[in-house]
Amino acid sequence: MTEFGLRMPTWIPVTIAAAFFQVWRTALQARLRTALSATGAAYVRYLYALPLDTVLLLVAWAGVQAPFPALAPRVLGLCLIGGVGQIIGTILLIQAFGRRNFVVGTAYAKTEAAQLVLFSVVVLGVHLPALAIAGILTAVVGVLSLSFVGHDRVQGLLRASLQPAALLGLGAGTAFAITALALRRASLLMPAATPVLFKGLLLLLVTNTLQTLIQGAYMAVSQPATLRQCLSAWRRAAPVGVLSALGSWGWFTGFCLTHAALVRGLGQIEIVFTFLFGHHLLKERVRLGEVLSVVVVVLGVTLIAVSGHG
């Protein structure tokens, strides 16, 4: 595996960068809710990512000076599965936002990494280092505990865990896990000689194109007014697309480099970025429980990173 001068496996900084861009994109995307519906705010991340996806791919292609790889039907099919899975996961998560106890729904969506471990190890027979599995599960516990800070009634949380918001959150996590596994498999089916960064960009462009066409066609039929709003709000929406393209490139490249469970497990560091953004830039009050939860997340992602050196 290609390594930087500090002997750090490439997938680690790539994943950290992807998590950072995702947090930044989500913050801008949230502001769009004043101008667009939830569906529209979700759609612009695909629509306005396409131009940058295309430019980056062409630049990379010119740089590697290699024949453009042909994509097998199985690769295209896996990109379709991954793209649709991400759309479904986003829709389920948005529906969870509309329910009572949406915090519980959001927290359960963060079980994606734990579900990836289950799918990868038990179903697919993938070998993951024990230290990495421990780190992933530790980070998941930290993320869940951070989501539940301020909810003092344990019985209330247990009841909430059986309500639709929690089930929607679990469904969203499952859909995102399927997306990660499909794209990881697609990367393995591409020619081995294809440079990793170029491979990640190619998978990104194909997947984003399919997502834009599928969700765009749906909105054109069922929500034409929302689609027009997405087009007219391009000045505010374009930065969301740029950050989405950069973040997704990081995730897709990470999937090309190592197991999806490791990438998404380490990617939970995004919750640390969110915490720092909220408390240092927005001057939000810090609770002791939040600090302890962030420490647990940091411990988990550290274990994952350390296992990556093996």
pLDDT of the chain, 310 residues: tens digit per residue: 444 445 678 999 999 999 999 888 877 877 776 788 878 888 998 999 999 999 999 998 888 777 778 889 999 999 999 999 998 888 787 777 655 555 566 677 778 888 898 888 887 888 888 888 899 889 888 887 776 666 555 555 555 555 677 788 888 889 999 999 999 999 999 988 888 888 999 999 999 999 999 999 999 999 999 999 999 989 889 999 999 999 999 999 999 999 999 999 998 888 888 777 766 555 556 677 777 888 888 898 888 888 865 5
Residue-by-residue DSSP string for the chain:
--B-TT--BTHHHHHHHHHHHHHHHHHHHHHGGGTS-HHHHHHHHHHTTHHHHHHHHHHHHHHHT-PPPPPPHHHHHHHHHHHHHHHHHHHHHHHHHTSTTHHHHHHHHTTHHHHHHIIIIIIS-----HHHHHHHHHHHHHHHHHHTTT---HHHHHHHTTSHHHHHHHHHHHHHHHHHHHHHHHHHHS-TTS-HHHHHHHHHHHHHHHHHHHHHHHHHHH-HHHHHHHHHTHHHHHHHHHHHHHHHHHHHHHHHHS-HHHHHHHGGGHHHHHHHIIIIIS-PPPPHHHHHHHHHHHHHHHHHHHHHT-
Q: Given this model, what pLDDT does residue 5 score? A: 43
> pLDDT value at position 37?
80
Tokens of 204: 């990104």
Q: What angle do CA 72, 76, 81 make, to 5 degrees?
A: 145
Contact yes or no for 112/171 (Cβ under 8 A): no
Q: What does pTM read for this prediction?
A: 0.85
Residues 6+ apart with CB under 8 A from 227: 40, 43, 216, 219, 220
Distance CA 216, CA 204 (A): 17
User: Residue 99's pLDDT is what?
Assistant: 58
Confidence (pLDDT) at 3 = 44
Planar angle of CA 113, 279, 294, nearest 5 degrees: 35
Supply 159's token pair.
């009841």
Res 224: pLDDT: 94
pLDDT at 120: 87
